[in-house]
Amino acid sequence: MEHKTLAKLITQIENNPEVAPQILQQFPEHQSKVIGFTGSPGVGKSSLIDRVIRYIRTRDLSVAVVAIDPSSPFTRGAFLGDRIRMREHFVDDNVFIRSMASRGALGGLCDAIFDVVKLLEVSGFDYVLVETVGIGQSEIEISHLVDVTVLVLSPGFGDEVQMLKAGVMEIADLYVVNKSDLPESDTVYSQLLAFLALAGKSEQQLCKASTHANNGVREVVEKIERLWESFYADGTIERRRKRRTRYHAEHIVRKIVEQAMNTVQENATNPYEFVKLALSRLCENHLRGGQGGGI
């Protein structure tokens, strides 16, 4: 599919998620390796993904990237900073890069991301890479979307404290100490080894990389591929994709209910009465074929 056509379809899904089923059913099913990159702001996620794309392309495989940028509080648009770091791939027909605004959504993603990733899969890309907004330790939504979650850490960003906290540290499948050319990276690496031992994880889930020195990127990709193949063989990928479908469905239901609640103008005397009014309005809309009528 031409990049311009694909970009227009993504824009349609972003602006009107209800059109996603009609768009997706036009394409045959295809399974890509969906890999998520997450971590604190400034750890070098975009630079690492740029090097990962470069390595994947040496093997003649196609890559799509969705980079979630922070939203403008005024226009709700994205600054597109992640695309600037990947600019050398813009003229490559086998690399598609799209920045999407978070639009205030929590968890480092955005509302349309599930349908957009599915569209990129059925478009036939071998890899779909998702980069989240810089997140904290409690934001784990990426694990509901991707097949393999890569947590990028680097020295000097408080990651040694983050290792002591639950949340994002627990959902990662691969831990990458980026900026390994810095001397402090050895400390972060040692602390991660201790964390993995306590968490019952393997040290094979840990590696170093330096986008500045262009070191370790091949190891990152090879470990991602080994994890994906292992997860595919033992049924983990299938289970995670079923979980993705359920989580996406729950997200749709929450949005529909939220829209119904926004239409309730009555002064309810308690929250239970408010819920009844909202559900009544939702049922009315459904019967009229309005919001949620296609569900």
> Which domains occur in the chain, in start order?
3-234 (3.40.50.300), 244-288 (no CATH)
- Residue found under tokens 């400390």: 187
Q: CA-CA distance, 141 to 25, in Å (whole number)? A: 26
Listed in sequence order, the DSSP H helices in 59-132 are 81-85, 113-122
Listed in sequence order, the DSSP H helices in the chain are 3-15, 20-24, 45-57, 81-85, 113-122, 159-162, 168-171, 185-199, 217-233, 236-262, 271-288
pLDDT band at 294 (very low <50, low <70, confident <90, very high): very low
Question: Of 133, 141, 135, 132, nearest to 158 (Cα)?
Answer: 135
Q: Give the H/E segment covering residue 139.
A: none
Judge whether residue 232 has pLDDT over 80. yes
Q: Which residues contact 218 (CB under 8 A, 6 or more apart)?
A: 55
Tell me if the pTM is above 0.85. Answer: yes
Question: Of 82, 206, 182, nearest to 132 (Cα)?
Answer: 82
Q: CA-CA distance, 288 to 293, in Å (whole number)? A: 7
Q: CA-CA distance, 61 to 168, in Å (whole number)? A: 29
Task: Kindly report the length of the chain.
Answer: 295
Of 71 and 133, the structure prediction assigns the larger pLDDT to 133
Chain segment 33-83, per-residue pLDDT in tens: 999 999 888 888 999 999 999 999 999 999 999 998 765 544 455 555 545
Question: Of 128, 138, 74, 120, nearest to 101 (Cα)?
Answer: 74
Q: CA-CA distance, 274 to 248, in Å (whole number)? A: 25
Chain segment 174-194, per-residue pLDDT in tens: 999 999 999 889 989 998 998
Of 197 and 269, the structure prediction assigns the larger pLDDT to 197
